[in-house]
Amino acid sequence: MTFIRPDAARAIHRLREALVGIAILILGALWMFGRPGLLQFLGYPVTLIGIVFILIGIQRARFRTSDDGAGAVQVDEGQIIYFGPLTGGATALADLERLTLDRNLKPAHWRLDSPGTPALLIPVNAAGSDALFDAFARLPGLRTERMLSEINISLKGGQNQAVVIWERAPLRPAHVRLH
């Protein structure tokens, strides 16, 4: 018997890092404004750590979607592996040339292009796809906020087009913008 509604449990699970950050922030604030002493000085860095956890938790929560999609994703030592019902494959993060969010497919899919291999298509709601956030964050020059805003557009049923999120070496001239 559970006392938490399933929707609330999913929201708590989605925001887990931010909620831990709030708890750390409260602890740091209690120490900062408590009795003078050693804990008061430790309260400042603990409060800062709590703020960092909240910010990171909000970003991760925006990246997470439901994990009821087709297939499963595994990220292991720089290798992204997708096990799907119809397709699947693997690509090394170091070999990745382009990361695209393809909103033409339902649900939206991540398209990972590497030289010499066919593109790896991963649904955004595949099981374990939240591990892709950390993998994509390692890509040099990736703009995380832009990636998150493009995901939110696709979840709201916005534009149906493929959007290049990151490229190692742009194939377009430098004066042409992506958007």
Per-residue pLDDT tens for 35-86? 888 888 999 999 999 999 999 898 888 887 767 778 899 999 889 999 988 8
Say which CATH topology domain 72-167 has.
PH-domain like (2.30.29)
Kindly report whether the global pTM for this prediction surpasses the value 0.85.
no
pLDDT of 178 reads 56
Compute the distance between CA of residue 31 and CA of residue 15 in angstroms, rounded to an integer.
25
